[in-house]
Amino acid sequence: MPNTYFKFKQFTINQDKCAMKVCTDACILGAWFSNKIAQHARVLDIGAGTGLLMMMLAQRSQAAIHGIEIDGDAYQQLQENTTQNDWQERLQVFQGDVRSFQFPHRYDFIISNPPFFESDWLSANNREQIAKHSTQLTLDELLPVIAGNLQPQGEFGILLPFHRWEYFNKLAGQHQFSLAEKLIVKQSPKHPPFRTILHYTRNKVDTATTADLTIQQIDRAYTPEFATLLKDYYLYLQE
């Protein structure tokens, strides 16, 4: 049974009401973008869940960060988590369907860890199914939502299964987004890539920067690259 909470160095994520728990790839997503957003940007997290990404970004910036969550129980958890930290004055959350929600303004940066398993095995747990699978928000629907809620010079970041990044990249191009950076994530040197983190801009980029991140070494210890990325967040990683 998963823990009901996950404690980081500067905040705690309660997760007993959420179908989707704290996971390593989401932590990589938050840490990777935490130094890429402008210090005083307006940021939106689509499908905010526990509020993990919101707080990871808030820890390293002075950004005003909003989050939206469709699931009622997860939204209650989101409210709980975002009001029990040092940055609550800069955090605001909404409940609703992002496809029709009217936000108070457009954002400089949008981040999302979306439900992306459109054609994969579906969970028997309906709430977990919604959280993991695109039964309510497909990638085709997500892109116009992002485009419509970004400032003209805005950027966005997204976490996807490795096997879906090329499909998504074609969709993004149809909405006049250009891939600026790509991070390919592997569990260990023996494993194939399983996640991709993508960073998009509306400015034309001829060739995206590509980097690789391996989480664990053969002996299952964290790699130096992973430890450097997460050291400001994970309790037992040294500065």
> What pLDDT, in 10s, does the model give residues 127-160?
444 444 335 689 999 999 999 999 999 999 999 9
Sorted by sequence, the CB contacts under 8 Å of residue 89 that are 6+ apart come out as none
Angle at 51 between CA 50 and CA 53, to 5 degrees: 120
Give a yes or no: residue 238 inside a domain: no
- What pLDDT score does 83 carry? 95
Q: By percentage, how much of the chain surpasses pLDDT 90?
A: 83
- 183 pLDDT above the threshold of 80: yes
The pLDDT confidence band at residue 239, using thresholds 50, 70 and 90, is: low
Please give the average per-residue pLDDT across 18-36, as a whole number: 94
State the total domains in the chain. 1
Kindly list the distances between the CA atom of residue 199 and the CA atoms of 83, 136, 160, in Å, as whole numbers in the listed order: 28, 23, 11
Give a yes or no: residue 235 inside a domain: no
What is d(CA 134, CA 25) in angstroms, rounded to the nearest whole number? 18
**Half-sphere exposure of 136 toward its Cβ, with a 13 Å CA cutoff?**
19
- What pLDDT score does 62 carry? 95
Sorted by sequence, the CB contacts under 8 Å of residue 102 that are 6+ apart come out as none
Please give the average per-residue pLDDT across 24-35, as a whole number: 96
Amino acid at 193: P
- 217 pLDDT above the threshold of 80: yes
Give a yes or no: residue 169 inside a domain: yes
Q: What is the pLDDT of residues 109-122, one digit of tens each?
A: 999 999 764 444 33
The CATH number of residue 82's host domain is 3.40.50.150
What is d(CA 194, CA 172) in angstroms, rounded to the nearest whole number? 20
Would you say the pTM of this structure is higher than 0.75?
Answer: yes
Give a yes or no: residue 138 inside a domain: yes
Give a yes or no: residue 195 inside a domain: yes
Domain that holds residue 157: 5-230
